[in-house]
């Protein structure tokens, strides 16, 4: 009988290249929130996939981005960079044939790791002229000569089997860390707060989502019913008004969409109560960030 394999795989890249979508499709289950807006992911999220004797522990990281001196941005960069230490494989996700300053910045960090690196060129289904891909592949192989290159489409599930086979080949032999039916190490409270945050991010314009956080104040399971109460923190009263919407319509919509996702995830009936609180400057206050669980 072949021995088992197990190891950690960091999924890294600049914001908005499709890291969370990739994790969800690899797991065939949604545990990492997604939106078209960059910097949706704030914490490292562990996704566990066990196939026979192989256990892959994928770490979805916040997008590594330059600039922005707020405490929350520094926290997100530190969180993403810390995932590069002590992993067995790095999957560096890039977006089609785009190559920006931020990609270069991530590449410089990835160049320092001692483990195998796979570059996943995502969204290749959106490249109209495939001839554009060749010079890009050339540039990537020059930037990271020892990396394996895999063109994929996370959203369309294209070539993910090849990516998974490569990851498996690189994993060390060893016992599994988690039971085979576990898909994440995150608590139900964390997952519930992330679902609410995703709906806010998808509903609102560019500015407000980055100045919101979700605090779960109650999570009570009684048989097949879970009662969840969550406070949405914003920085200014104008944002509170925007979040609530005309006659409370927007927050009602956010609540309905979040509840449906939670019912699917937790396989239970959900009673969800949401309200909005103004907490000025929370995103640049390290103590406030710690109280919201940002130092986990």
Reported as a single tens digit per residue, the pLDDT across 23-57 is 989 988 777 755 454 444 445 678 899 999 999 99
Both 158 and 26 in one domain: the answer is yes
Q: How high is the pLDDT of residue 73?
A: 53
Q: Is residue 108 part of a domain?
A: yes
Both 164 and 227 in one domain: the answer is no
Q: How many domains does the chain have?
A: 2
Q: How high is the pLDDT of residue 62?
A: 65
Both 232 and 122 in one domain: the answer is no
| Average pLDDT over the chain, rounded to an integer | 83
Both 166 and 202 in one domain: the answer is no
Both 206 and 143 in one domain: the answer is no
Annotate the chain with three-state secondary structure: CCCCEEEEEEEECCCCCCHHHHHHHHHCCCCCCCCCCCCCCCCCEEEEEEECCEEEEEEECCCCCCCCCCHHHHHHHHHHHHCCCCCCEEEEEEECCCCCHHHHHHHHHHCCCCCCEEEEEECHHHCCCHHHHHHHHHHHHHHCCCCEEEECECCCCECHHHHHHHHHHHCCECCCCCCCCCCECCCHHHHHHHHHHHHHHHHCCCCHHHHCEEEEEEEEEECCEEEEEEEEEECCHHHHHHHHCHHHHHHHHHHHHHHHHHHHHHCCEEEEEEEEEECCCHHHCHHHHHHCCCCC
Average pLDDT (237-241) is 86
Both 9 and 112 in one domain: the answer is yes
Q: How high is the pLDDT of residue 45?
A: 75
pLDDT band at 163 (very low <50, low <70, confident <90, very high): very high
Residue 208, domain CATH: 3.30.300.20
Both 251 and 140 in one domain: the answer is no
Average pLDDT (177-206) is 84
Most confident of 64-78, 130-144, 157-171, 205-219: 157-171
Q: Which of 109, 144, 170 is the last residue of a domain?
A: 170
Both 9 and 102 in one domain: the answer is yes
Average pLDDT (275-284) is 75
Both 94 and 135 in one domain: the answer is yes
Residue 66: pLDDT over 70:
no
Q: φ, ψ for residue 191 (rounded to 5)?
A: -65, -40
Q: Is residue 222 part of a domain?
A: yes
Residue positions counted in the chain: 296
Average pLDDT (202-226) is 80
Both 49 and 145 in one domain: the answer is yes
Range of the domain at 83: 5-170
Residue 72: pLDDT over 50:
no
pLDDT band at 164 (very low <50, low <70, confident <90, very high): very high
pLDDT band at 78 (very low <50, low <70, confident <90, very high): low
Average pLDDT (84-99) is 89
Q: Which of 170, 200, 226 is the last residue of a domain?
A: 170
Both 107 and 152 in one domain: the answer is yes
Q: Is residue 61 part of a domain?
A: yes
Q: Is residue 183 part of a domain?
A: no
């Amino acid at each position: 009988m072949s021995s088992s394999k197990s190891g950690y795989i960091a999924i890294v890249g600049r914001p908005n290249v499709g890291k969370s979508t990739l994790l969800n499709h690899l797991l065939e289950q949604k545990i990492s929130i997604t939106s078209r807006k960059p910097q949706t992911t704030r914490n490292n999220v562990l996704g566990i996939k066990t196939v026979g004797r192989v256990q892959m522990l994928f770490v979805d990281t916040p997008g590594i981005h330059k600039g922005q001196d707020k405490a929350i941005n520094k926290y997100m960069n530190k969180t993403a960079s810390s995932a590069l230490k002590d992993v067995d494989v790095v999957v560096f996700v890039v977006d089609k044939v785009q190559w920006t300053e931020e990609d270069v910045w991530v590449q410089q960090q990835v160049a320092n790791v001692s483990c195998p690196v796979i570059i996943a060129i995502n969204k290749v289904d959106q490249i109209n002229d495939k001839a554009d891909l060749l010079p890009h592949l050339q540039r990537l192989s020059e930037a990271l000569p020892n990396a394996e290159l895999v063109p994929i489409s996370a959203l369309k599930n294209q070539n993910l089997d090849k990516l998974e086979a490569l990851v498996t080949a690189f994993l060390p032999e060893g016992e599994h860390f988690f039971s085979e039916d576990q898909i994440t190490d995150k608590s139900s409270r964390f997952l519930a707060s992330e679902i609410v945050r995703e709906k806010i991010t998808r509903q609102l314009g560019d500015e407000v989502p980055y100045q919101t956080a979700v605090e779960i104040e109650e999570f009570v399971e009684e048989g097949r019913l879970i009662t969840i109460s969550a406070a949405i923190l914003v920085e200014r009263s104008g944002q509170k008004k925007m979040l609530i919407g005309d006659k409370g319509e927007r927050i009602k919509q956010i609540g309905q969409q979040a509840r449906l996702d939670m019912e699917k995830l937790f396989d239970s009936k959900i009673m969800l109560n949401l309200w909005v609180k103004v907490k000025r400057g929370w995103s640049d206050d390290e103590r406030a960030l710690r109280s919201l669980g940002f130092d986990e």
